[in-house]
Amino acid sequence: MKILCVLYDDPKDGMPSKYALDGIPKLETYPDGMTLPTPKGRDFNPGDLLGCVSGELGLRKFLEDRGHTLVVTSDKDADGCEADKELVDADVVISQPFWPYYLTRKRMESAPNLKMAITAGIGSDHVDLQAAMDHKVDVVEVTYCNSISVSEHIIMMILSLVRDYHNQHSIVKAGGWNIADAVQRSYDVEGMHIGTVAAGRIGLSVLRKMNPFDVHLHYFDRHRLPESVEQELNLTFHESVESMVAVCDVVTINCPLHPETENLFDETLINKMKKGAYLVNTARGKICNKEAIADALKSGQLSGYAGDVWFPQPAPNDHVWRTMPNHGMTPHTSGTTLSAQARYADGTREILECFFDNEPIRNKYLIVKDGELAGMGAHSYSKGSVTEGSEEAAEYKK
């Protein structure tokens, strides 16, 4: 079989000759007791850079020893890109949310052999799920592999925004020391009302991590948490997003992107938020209206916006989020730490091993199976596609 793997570019100075740490902690289970990926083998050192082209997710030896062909590229967007050329006779395509290969209906129809799309990470909205159902292309992802990584990133962003860390750091880097300038937008998070849109693996982890800061915790989710969890964290459940954002000083978005959540945070919803609130989005860029976010920062309706996700990705150089005031954007790095890469590389191999050996893939990894939403897909997504507009990714660096 032919496996096409679309990964982000190597470091500008080449692959690391050494790493900051000698290794990463060894984990056996996730917080809910689910076991980490359990492939039958591994051809990399945990803690190595695996998510870029030369890293190859540690898959080449495994695949070639089994007689399969592996093609790895970062060229994924413009007409005639390498990924499109290689897709036409591929059986499996692997992509990461951080450098997504937007598997649109048109691309799917160009690949008659395509049987499976694997997300090396979590979040498969870069695949046209409706087209995958229509064409009987299975979609799977490595559920939970980087959820804790993302939740840690969210905590960092919340504290950085509220304390105005970015401004204070820039003053020092510029050789300054004016303390009044450094603290005129700096507050304590203690006593604030913090809310999450969705309280799944990431959202619940954020709530647990914020609880020791002596804040008031809120959440909205279409699947309510058990009463025992609500009591443990003293959570306030809201029946609607509108109810929650009206009372929160900080809102973090942790829901999947699908047709029901696309453009959820538009001008109307943002104007229902508490004046001067902070918004953190590590879910998907398309959940927020980019112009509405920029306008709210300029007007002061939002005091800050920190996001790890854009649409499309990579974001064009003229994307308004690059230059708007009081932002703390990162280039979708929250879920691709070296720690997380080891887990999603292992998970990708586990999925491929099951696929080649005709063994069942973990139900929790399934998004689309046999033409229907399945597993986590049935729990988290709705039918349809949110890939429209992804061709703008070709504008990066133009």
Active site residues: 146, 284, 313, 332
> In 3-state terms, what secondary structure has residue 261?
coil
What would the DSSP string read from start to end of 279-348? EEE-S-GGGB-HHHHHHHHHHTSEEEEEES--SSSSPPTT-GGGT-TTB---SS-TT-SHHHHHHHHHHH
Residue type, 15: M
Residue type, 342: A
Residue type, 16: P
Give the tokens for residue 81.
């890109």
Check: CB of residue 95 under 8 Å from CB of residue 28: no
User: What's the distance, CA 249 to chain centroid?
Assistant: 23
The whole-angstrom separation of Cα 374 and Cα 273 is 34
Q: How far is CA 92 from CA 46, 70, 110, 111, 164, in A?
A: 24, 10, 13, 10, 44
Check: CB of residue 269 under 8 Å from CB of residue 302: no
Alpha helices in the chain (DSSP H): 60-65, 82-87, 105-109, 129-134, 147-163, 165-173, 179-183, 201-210, 227-233, 241-245, 267-270, 290-299, 338-356, 375-380
The whole-angstrom separation of Cα 91 and Cα 116 is 7
Check: CB of residue 347 under 8 Å from CB of residue 37: yes
CA angle (314 as vertex; 313, 320 as ends), nearest 5: 90
Q: How far is CA 218 from CA 25, 237, 270, 329, in A?
A: 32, 6, 17, 24
> What's 363's DSSP letter?
G
> What's 301's DSSP letter?
S
> What's 233's DSSP letter?
H
